[in-house]
Every structure is written in C-alpha cells, then in structure tokens.
C-alpha cells in the first residue's frame, strides 16, 4: 500500500470570513478544557458582550499558544516590535477603557 498524505479541506463561509473584532479576551480553564471569550468593549460603555467563545482541550490550547508565539515573532521580524501600552494596575478595564472620566 502506498502512503498517501491526508489533506484537510477547510471551508470558510463569507459570514465567518468577515471576522469579529475583539479588544479583550478572558481565558478560564478546568481540568479538561480552556475557554476563551472574545469581547469587544467600547469607551464609556459600562457593559461589554462576549462576541465569540472558543472551547479548547488543554493540548490544543498549548498548540494555539505556540502558533501565536510563532506568528507574533514573524510579524515583529517584518514590522518591528509590538508595543503594549501600560494600563494602571488597579484598573479593571484594559487599555484605559472604562468609567466616564473626561
């Protein structure tokens, strides 16, 4: 018998191809799964909705971690270091979003 490479055909519908913008991810886990909630928060709005939830096995979560590390390294090699702005440590909101300070 010949060894044939198995190919995976991945289909991307137009709706999914549009993507969902997220500027916050909340990650939680149990002994059998990781849950990643992607959230969009807007300045001055006290409520934010989860836009997408992805549930992964621990093995796939680690594979995702490695894939993200690899892609960030490739991005930075082409475009320069990604800077992460400082957020006050006592702020419950990332990136300075939050309460109605003017």
Q: 92: closest CA among 26, 20, 21, 22?
A: 26
Q: Is the pLDDT of residue 97 over 80?
A: no
The C-alpha atoms of residue 93 and residue 36 are separated, in whole angstroms, by: 17
Q: Which distant-in-sequence residues (6+ apart) come within 8 Å of 42 by Cβ? A: 48, 97
DSSP state letters, 32-62 = S-EEEEEEE--TT-S--EEEEEEEE-HHHHH
Q: Which distant-in-sequence residues (6+ apart) come within 8 Å of 28 by Cβ? A: 34, 35, 37
pLDDT tens track for 41-88: 998 888 999 999 999 999 999 999 999 999 999 999 999 999 988 665
Predicted TM-score (pTM) of this structure: 0.73
CA 102 vs. chain centroid, Å, equals 30
């Amino acid at each position: 018998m010949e060894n044939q490479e198995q190919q995976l055909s991945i289909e991307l519908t137009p709706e999914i191809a549009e993507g969902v913008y997220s500027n916050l991810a909340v990650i939680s886990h149990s002994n059998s799964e990781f849950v990643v909630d992607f959230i969009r928060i807007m300045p001055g709005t006290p409520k934010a909705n989860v836009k997408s939830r992805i549930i992964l096995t621990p093995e796939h979560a680690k594979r995702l971690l490695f894939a993200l590390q690899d892609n960030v390294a490739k991005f930075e090699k082409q475009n320069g270091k990604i800077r992460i702005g400082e957020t006050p440590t006592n702020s419950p909101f990332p990136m300075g979003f939050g309460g109605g300070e003017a």
